Amino acid sequence: MVAAETKICDIDGENGKLIYRGYEIGELTKNYSFEEVAYLLWYGEIGEKHQLQQFNKDWKEYLDLTDTTKTIIDSLPPNMDLMGVIRTTISSLGTIEFNWKPSISQAMYLTAIVPSIIAYHTRRKKGLDYIPPNDCYGHVENFLYMLNGNVPDPAHVSALETYMILTMEHGMNASTFSARVTASTESDIVSAITSAIGTMKGPLHGGAPSGVIDLLNETAKLENIVEYIRTKILNGEKLMGFGHRVYKTHDPRAMALKEKLTKFVGKDEWLDLAMEVEQICIDQLNELKPGRSLYTNVEYYAAAIMKAIDFPPEMFTPTFTASRMVGWTAHVLEQAENNTIYRPQSIYVGK
């Protein structure tokens, strides 16, 4: 059943295409920054130079945390996981200024602040001081800087920015649907995004690609990677990071990530290993499982990037959330343009 008409995103699984507002995803990752693609999803067009200058200026005003927000994070239970921290902190922002209808400035604020929430909580758990954002850095670069306090490696920034653009939006998935359902009641955008984050928290939707990380960890120790991969396939074991339930051919997100990463061959051992293992897996799958069309999916290279930038597995879903904030808020804005409350039917099967 069709849940909504949208101008935001189109997924062509048969032909391996992902399109944001009429632009193929590979074109966007090659030519535009995270902020510029966010502008496209929110406004429906690529911004002019003067528009983007003001947009970036406004964005940077939203990056830092208020003392109130820091106090809220400080008061959360110590055993709350990072996704719970993001969900609860975002929910706490829902003051009367966020009443219906939602605005792009609200979408920008909620998107800009998530990396700061992640960085603040992560450093606090390690007993480290909060590092405020640097005005000289873009959104993704600031994310890495606030986490580590070091000048971010350009290869890592480029790889992570590409990944975050690729995962900004992906049609009517579970979390996006949750956001639109909440928005359809004319609730505020904070409530809609809180619904989406709660949905993303479930391991069937936003789970970390721990299997891919395990694969890379194992192959890093081996002299004969080909024999290891071949044995796994012959034993009927699943190769994590290969195959996708939507894309019946190459996952365009994985292809865009790989294209970006080829520019950094020899500059990071984990990215180099990931590219070597991918080719071995593809060769062996083609030989041992011909006709199955098992191509690399976005999770494979996402795991490689997380490993390269030293993100632990528990950082994967929060990072995914930080990028998908753009898509969720774009859908909330679109829902508000011509709103009708969702009222699905159910079939009674009780006594």
Q: Is 240 helix (H, G, I), strand (E, B) or coil?
A: coil
Q: Which one is catalytic: 35, 169, 299, 334? A: 299
Structure tokens at 250: 């190459």
Task: Verify whether residue 244 is a known catalytic residue.
Answer: yes
CB atoms within 10 A of CB 118: 23
Residue 306's nearest CA partner among 241, 240, 210 is 210
Q: Which residues, listed in sequence order, are joined to residue 11 by a DSSP beta bridge? A: 18
Cis peptide before 101 (omega within 30 of 0): yes
> 7 to each of 12, 20, 43, 331, how far by Cα in Å?
14, 8, 11, 9
Q: Which residues, listed in sequence order, are joined to residue 20 by a DSSP beta bridge? A: 9, 23
Q: Which one is catalytic: 139, 244, 278, 334? A: 244
The CA distance from 330 to 4, in Å, is 13
**DSSP string over 139-171:** HHHHHHHHHHSSPPPHHHHHHHHHHHHHTS--S
Structure tokens at 214: 């395990």
Task: Verify whether residue 186 is a known catalytic residue.
Answer: no
Residue 232's nearest CA partner among 351, 242, 323, 12 is 242
In angstroms, how far is CA 262 from the centroid of its own chain? 21
Residue 29's nearest CA partner among 255, 296, 256, 321 is 256
**Phi and psi at residue 76, to the nearest 5°:** -75, 150
Q: Give catalytic residue positions.
A: 244, 299
